[in-house]
Amino acid sequence: MADILVIRLSAIGDVAMTVPVIYSAAKANPEDSFTVLTQAFLVPVFMNRPGNVNVIGINTKTTEKNLAGLLRFTSALVKYDFDLVLDLHDVLRTMIIRTFFRLNGKRVFVVDKARKDRARLTDAEHKQFKQLRPVIECYADVFRNAGLNYMETFTSLFESSAPDLSALEPLAGMKTGKWIGIAPFAKHRGKIYPVDEMEQVVAKLSEREDLTIFLFGGRGYEEAVLEQWAFEHPRVKSVAGKYALDHELALISRLDLLLCMDSANMHFASLVGTRVLSIWGATHPYAGFYGYHQDPKDCIQQLDLPCRPCSVFGQKPCYRGDWACMSEITPEQIVEKIELSL
């Protein structure tokens, strides 16, 4: 029996992508104990977990933001005396943490992030356009390299425990017809479909009396935009800022379809077995971040732009200056794709 520490601190979507791998590994190694170290606010993602999976939260925005805080945290963590350390992140913070364990004689295994391959995929002049190994498979490789049994068995966070829908009823009501989710935002500009055009998508879909549309987003600006859409269009409801993550996941599990960007919502939907139509601009599924068990045919993207992808994460400025990768996708194309998918 081994005690295993699994580290993935951020980002939200990347942490979500570890869930199928960790849960599958835990089921394949029932005698071993797995402890996941992640951001404290992401602990709820690991819901309905196997009995041999625990989760520890770290706060890299507050108490563990600076080096002194991180060292204090790591000094305490080392006392847990884990047998193996699996680093699924490989950034400076996790390098510091795993070094402490190495100095204490523990075996450490680190994910291969294929940084050179990603750089070639997004290179402006000498692009090597090919499918890279999916990130989820890269995570699974770490478990295999550590000598652990691994068989992909994960299907849904609600596989063994049905979602609690009681908290959803005041806003969502009883389900009639089809429920469509739309999550129009992402962290970086290169992954966001133009807001005005997305409202056209919402407006067109709202004309159908058999559809109820739920809008997902963060607080502040996103919440204000989505509330305005919900006010102006029938059968449209904004859930931005209204639910905790577990309730939001429960709602997503009830959707017939989710339209979103290359964002965390794509991965949340994948964790609960909901079909996703995802819009891709500066980024590309070839970088390995496509949703778990999602159909590649459900990806909406411009295929004839040689500059794509220009970024792995969507944070780089547009080479052309016009964001054609997003602006050349019409609202009519998106609506047609949705209607053909229902």
Q: Which residue type does 161 have?
A: S
> What pLDDT sits at residue 109?
98
Range 3-145: architecture per CATH: 3-Layer(aba) Sandwich (3.40)
The tens digit of pLDDT for each residue in 196-211 reads 999 999 999 999 999 9
The 33-39 sheet, strands edge to edge:
53-58, 33-39, 3-7, 84-87, 107-110
> What pLDDT sits at residue 239?
96
What's the CA dihedral at 35, 39, 138, 306 to 10 degrees? 170
CB 93, CB 60: distance < 8 Å: yes
The tens digit of pLDDT for each residue in 124-170 reads 999 999 999 999 999 999 999 999 999 999 999 999 888 888 888 88
Domain 166-341: which CATH number of 3.40.50.2000, 3.40.50.10070, 3.40.50.800, 3.30.910.20: 3.40.50.2000
**82 pLDDT exceeds 90?**
yes
The 3 state secondary structure assigned to 114-156 is CHHHHHHHCCCCCCCCCCCCCHHHHHHHHHHHCCCCCCCCCCC
CA-to-CA dists, residue 156 to 23, 127, 229, 267, 293, angstroms: 10, 36, 31, 11, 11
* Residue 330: pLDDT band with limits 50, 70, 90: very high
Whole-structure pTM value:
0.95
How far apart CA 247 and CA 165 sit, in angstroms, is 8
How far apart CA 191 and CA 285 sit, in angstroms, is 12
CB 153, CB 125: distance < 8 Å: no
The tens digit of pLDDT for each residue in 272-284 reads 999 999 999 999 9
CB 301, CB 279: distance < 8 Å: yes
Can you tell me the mean pLDDT for 37-52?
A: 96
Cα dihedral 136, 141, 143, 148 sign: positive
The 3 state secondary structure assigned to 288-340 is CCCCCCCCHHHEECCCCCCCCCCCCCCCCCCCCCCCHHHHCCCHHHHHHHHHH
> What pLDDT sits at residue 168?
84
Structure tokens at 120: 């070639």
Can you tell me the mean pLDDT for 241-270?
A: 96
Count the residues in the chain. Answer: 342
How far apart CA 132 and CA 125 sit, in angstroms, is 19
Can you tell me the mean pLDDT for 21-25?
A: 98
Do 3-145 and 166-341 agree at the fold level?
Answer: yes
State the CB neighbour count (10 A cutoff) for residue 330: 12
**219 pLDDT exceeds 90?**
yes
> What pLDDT sits at residue 275?
98
CB 4, CB 84: distance < 8 Å: yes
Q: Where are the domains of the chain?
A: 3-145, 166-341
